[in-house]
Structure 1
Amino acid sequence: MYSTGSIQALFVTDPDMVKEIANCKSLDIGKPLYLQKELGALLGMGILTSNGDLWAHQRKVIAPEFFMEKVKGMVHLMIEAANRMLISWENKVEKEGGSAEMVVDESLRSFSADVISRASFGSNFSEGKEIFNKIRQLQKAMAKQNMLIGVPGSRYLPTKTNREIWSLDTSIRNLILNVAKRHHLHDSVTCVNNDLLHSIVEGAKADPFSSCTPEDFIVDNCKNIYFAGHETTSTTAAWCLMLLASHPKWQSCARAEVLDVCQGNTLNADMLKKLKTVTMVIQETFRLYPPAAFVTREALNDIKLGSLNIPKGTNIRIPIALAHRDPAIWGPSSDRFDPARFANGIAGACKPPHMYMPFGVGTRTCAGQNLAMVELKVVLSLVLSRFEFALSPKYVHCPAFRLTIEPGNGMPLILKKLS
């Protein structure tokens, strides 16, 4: 047990207790209420923070949009977005004589933002660029005040950071509502209504709960998808490239697999299923650098967990990075990059398998995990098929917590075009 300001937290690493949390379907355990308050500008009462019947309704609206059959239909959009990014990389490499140093973070972030915008909101990155830029600014601003979480009233103080957060929150809200209005008008004219934004708008109309207005339902869930749908994927892609750049043998092995599967043909969904080594690299990257620091829950009523009586209001925090590097679970090589540990799947790599939790645990497992895995396979496959890459001497290993765990000083790589 420890406390952060007024928040009382129970730190959980015991595998049996983690399993009990994962298997719990009771609405007595939910997302911490402080998230809606302290991170309200970024997450509001969207699917990432809501509880009870509101969360169940949001999950019912959003999750089907990320079922694998739907995600397969997005692969061509991912390839188009990745190719645009890689052409710009190729141009720079050619301009600099066959080898160039590039900080790839922002490119990957733009790529992922383009994918989630076009696949889920029917627009392209140029239309959503202002929203993404402001959400990124908001994320950085909220990370600055992270140390004040749990300090009563801190979010109301008219500090420079809080004023910036309030301004960005208002601006993002207006931008999202404008996109939703234009989208609704377009649907009315064309009768095309098969994307996530349409489902969210319709879900807002059907929402029988008084906990949020229809406008809040649209804005908060769009912000949740914009943030979670591009930030976590782009960050993981950067860590993947760092690890492959640091381990040339694995880079060569993954590249050989991609070239063998594609045989010079355009990448497609069927090919992605055959990329076993690439999948193992992604799984190992998620293990070593999970996007989220914790699985967080709150006892919304008095509950019993294992042998512990946990009073209402207690936060429950599972430290993902510690669980993913525990030698008792992963063996003596738990700190080493070794994708081969996933050769027989998660169950073969991790005993017990529920201690591998890059997408969370239980009923609150990330609804967009299919999208994330397919998107990562696409971008890694295309990068590997077109470039050799190594870490720049300027790279400083500095993982930073900015609501997700990202490279603190960027990801500079030296890229060389494959012949």
Structure 2
Amino acid sequence: MAILGAARAATPPWISLCALGVALAAALWGAWRALDSWWLRPRRLGNALRSQGLPGTAYRFPSGDMKEYVRLAAAARSEPMPLASHAIAPRVVPFDHSITRQHGSVAVTWFGPEPRVIVNDPMLMREILANKHGHFGKQKSMLWVERLLANGLTTHQGQKWATHRRIVNHAFHFEKLKRMLPAFAACSSELSRRWEETVGSSDGVQEIDVWPEFTNLTGDVISRAAFGSSFTEGRIIFQLQSEQAQNAVKMVSTMHIPAYRFLPTQLNKRMKAIAREVEQLLRGIISKRERAMEDGLNSDDLLGLLLEANVKESQESGSAKPMMTTEDIIGELKLFYFAGMETTAVLLTWTMIVLSMHQEWQDRAREEVLRIFGKNQPDSEGINQLKIVTMILHEVLRLYPPILLVGRETYQETEIGGVTYPPGVVFSFQIACVHHNPDVWGEDADEFRPERFAEGVSKASKDAPAFFPFGWGPQICVGQNFALLEAKMALALILQHFLFDLSPSYTHAPCAISTLQPQYGAQIKLRKL
């Protein structure tokens, strides 16, 4: 103790003063950053937008419009919709719907201190999503959450995004997707057989909640299509990624709390643990597949196609190293699970609900399926002839888009739509609002009319195209053909074997979670044909 005391006494005063000065400077710098982030910068950006006549709300320290957002969301969820109504926007995006009704098709709101411009104008959406001048990028405040889910195409930018997109495009080429049809057919046939056994044991009519059924179906499809023989391991990954998606929704609701993501909360720790476990499983599957490829054994599943495309792209570019590392491939596979699992399940669920409400279109779709396939298993050639089924799926995607929001952020000052936006402004494209906009789709915008798409997507709306279920522009969802092919296969098999309508226990309550889901399930009455 005496020695320590002597050492302290021997410390020159100027060192203590320097240390104190550094600590004070760090504290002042931190205080300045907080002041700038939560007060000065929002005021500066708000003034720049208001001075140009852009309507909307004013920034309120510290949470912006979050309290009103939460209040309206809770109120909307407390009451179901009328059974025959498809006017989902006031229920699933109540705050954004209210803002567009109050302030017009382009309006400023505040997500904490972040300025968020809600856009309900398809022309402006197309221009921003096309990003021809490189002024827009991914929403920075969301990237860390997305990377916990899947550090893939949706989180990459610049050259890395372009390289990954080229490689992934090879795997999702339509001709290669046709090789996955046996996996689609096997999973859909198993679902149909299970339903037939259930209906057969209940005097010909059985109520089934199709939402969890389709979630399991799409998880099985992805597991088989992605990993083939590693199906069991794929199922474990599917379950973990399902939990991770739900955790991500909880995490987003805390984003306005400063530094929350750095706290050792139970949610934060669980998300990181799931990410590590999924990565370990995928790394093992990839290693086994790479060894098989070295032995000359190739596979038509997604992983095999991705690895083949990676080797080919690397050779063509003259690179000694693979263009995509193992970590990159892990990220893309995780994204495939997250993006492909719920979106197709949501599409199939709402399609059965809507066709239960509109029996005449269910009859027309079944007539088409039976005319093309009879009772034979659907194949790729026949699926391409399903015009009425395709029209129905497009109209369901319009009325009930699985993904409700696409965001972009200005990375540099840019002029668009007559307004100059400074860096740091987030554009929020509320797809549900655009898809239900009567100025774009007509006064019957909230009605189910598949004939809108009789001549394709490009002629379905007044301001064409205004159909964004898979995004738009160069970053449009690479898996859209996969999702539609899977949905057509499953729906065709169901129409071949069952009649269906809504159960009296069904409550019509579309709800925005990670995707647009039925809040109380999707209870359908099935009867064998």
Q: Same fold (TM over 0.5)?
A: yes
Structure 1 vs Structure 2 CA RMSD: 2.2
Distance 1:18 1:113 in 2: 32
Deviation at 1:389, TM superposition (A): 0.9
User: Partner residue of 2:130?
Assistant: 23
Structure 1 residue 189 and structure 2 residue 300: aligned? Answer: no
Distance 1:175 1:6 in 2: 39
2:145 aligns with one of 31, 38, 55: 38
User: Partner residue of 1:350?
Assistant: 461
User: Partner residue of 1:113?
Assistant: 219
Q: Is the 8 A contact 1:30 1:52 kept in 2?
A: no
Q: Secondary structure at the match of 1:145?
A: helix
Q: Is the 8 A contact 1:6 1:152 kept in 2?
A: no
Deviation at 1:189, TM superposition (A): 2.7
2:351 aligns with one of 231, 240, 248: 240
Deviation at 1:400, TM superposition (A): 2.2
**Counterparts in 2 of 1:302-321, with a 5 A limit?**
302-321=413-432
Distance 1:237 1:194 in 2: 25
For 1:316-360, what per-residue CA distance to the aligned partner results, in whole angstroms no more than 9, with x for missing partners? 111100000001111111111111221222223212222111110
**Counterparts in 2 of 1:204-223, with a 5 A limit?**
214-223=325-334
**Counterparts in 2 of 1:66-85, with a 5 A limit?**
66-85=172-191
Q: Is the 8 A contact 1:120 1:197 kept in 2?
A: yes
Structure-2-length-normalised TM-score = 0.74
Q: Is the 8 A contact 1:27 1:52 kept in 2?
A: no
User: Partner residue of 1:104?
Assistant: 210
**Counterparts in 2 of 1:400-415, with a 5 A limit?**
400-415=511-526
**Counterparts in 2 of 1:255-266, with a 5 A limit?**
255-266=366-377
Q: Is the 8 A contact 1:253 1:277 kept in 2?
A: yes
Q: Is the 8 A contact 2:497 2:528 kept in 1?
A: yes
Distance 2:305 2:182 in 1: 22
Q: Secondary structure at the match of 1:400?
A: strand
Deviation at 1:379, TM superposition (A): 0.7
Q: Is the 8 A contact 2:180 2:300 kept in 1?
A: no
Structure 1 residue 276 and structure 2 residue 383: aligned? Answer: no
User: Partner residue of 1:14?
Assistant: 121
Deviation at 1:36, TM superposition (A): 2.0
Shift of the 110–187 alpha-carbon distance from structure 1 to 2, 3 Å rule, reads: farther
Distance 2:499 2:301 in 1: 36
Distance 1:35 1:213 in 2: 24
Deviation at 1:190, TM superposition (A): 3.8
Q: Is the 8 A contact 1:341 1:349 kept in 2?
A: yes
Distance 1:189 1:16 in 2: 52
Distance 1:396 1:117 in 2: 31
1:53 aligns with one of 159, 177, 180: 159
Q: Which runs of 5+ in 1 are unaligned?
A: none
Shift of the 49–124 alpha-carbon distance from structure 1 to 2, 3 Å rule, reads: same
**Counterparts in 2 of 1:360-379, with a 5 A limit?**
360-379=471-490
Distance 1:26 1:112 in 2: 37
Distance 2:516 2:176 in 1: 28
Deviation at 1:26, TM superposition (A): 3.3
Over the matched positions of the two proteins, sequence identity in percent amounts to 32
Structure 1 residue 5 and structure 2 residue 112: aligned? Answer: yes
Shift of the 232–157 alpha-carbon distance from structure 1 to 2, 3 Å rule, reads: same
Distance 2:300 2:527 in 1: 40
Structure 1 residue 333 and structure 2 residue 444: aligned? Answer: yes
Deviation at 1:408, TM superposition (A): 2.0
Shift of the 130–100 alpha-carbon distance from structure 1 to 2, 3 Å rule, reads: same
Distance 1:340 1:30 in 2: 36
User: Partner residue of 2:252?
Assistant: 146
2:433 aligns with one of 322, 328, 345: 322
The size of the alignment, in residue pairs, is 414
Deviation at 1:42, TM superposition (A): 0.5
User: Partner residue of 2:85?
Assistant: none
Could you say which structure has the larger radius of gyration?
Answer: 2
Deviation at 1:294, TM superposition (A): 1.4
Q: Is the 8 A contact 2:375 2:496 kept in 1?
A: no
Q: Is the 8 A contact 1:257 1:277 kept in 2?
A: yes
Structure 1 residue 93 and structure 2 residue 199: aligned? Answer: yes
Distance 2:440 2:412 in 1: 31
Distance 1:196 1:265 in 2: 26
For 1:220-254, what per-residue CA distance to the aligned partner results, in whole angstroms no more than 9, with x for missing partners? 21110111122211111111111111111111111
Which stretch shifts more, 64-73 or 150-159? Answer: 150-159
Q: Secondary structure at the match of 2:494?
A: helix
Distance 1:15 1:267 in 2: 36
Q: Is the 8 A contact 1:400 1:406 kept in 2?
A: yes
Structure 1 residue 359 and structure 2 residue 491: aligned? Answer: no
Distance 1:199 1:32 in 2: 30
Distance 2:495 2:302 in 1: 31
Q: Is the 8 A contact 1:122 1:195 kept in 2?
A: yes
Q: Is the 8 A contact 1:326 1:334 kept in 2?
A: yes
User: Partner residue of 2:37?
Assistant: none
Q: Match for 1:281: what amino acid?
A: I
User: Partner residue of 2:411?
Assistant: 300
Distance 1:363 1:97 in 2: 52
Q: Secondary structure at the match of 1:337?
A: coil
Structure-1-length-normalised TM-score = 0.93
Q: Secondary structure at the match of 1:265?
A: coil
Deviation at 1:213, TM superposition (A): 9.0
Deviation at 1:201, TM superposition (A): 4.8
Deviation at 1:148, TM superposition (A): 1.6
Deviation at 1:200, TM superposition (A): 4.5
Distance 2:288 2:409 in 1: 38
Distance 1:188 1:366 in 2: 31
Deviation at 1:33, TM superposition (A): 1.9
Q: Secondary structure at the match of 1:380?
A: helix
Q: Match for 1:302: what amino acid?
A: E
User: Partner residue of 2:279?
Assistant: 173
Q: Secondary structure at the match of 2:471?
A: coil
For 1:75-105, what per-residue CA distance to the aligned partner results, in whole angstroms no more than 9, with x for missing partners? 2221111001111111111112211111122
Distance 2:401 2:122 in 1: 18
Distance 1:335 1:279 in 2: 19
Q: Is the 8 A contact 1:244 1:250 kept in 2?
A: yes
Q: Secondary structure at the match of 1:39?
A: helix
User: Partner residue of 2:49?
Assistant: none
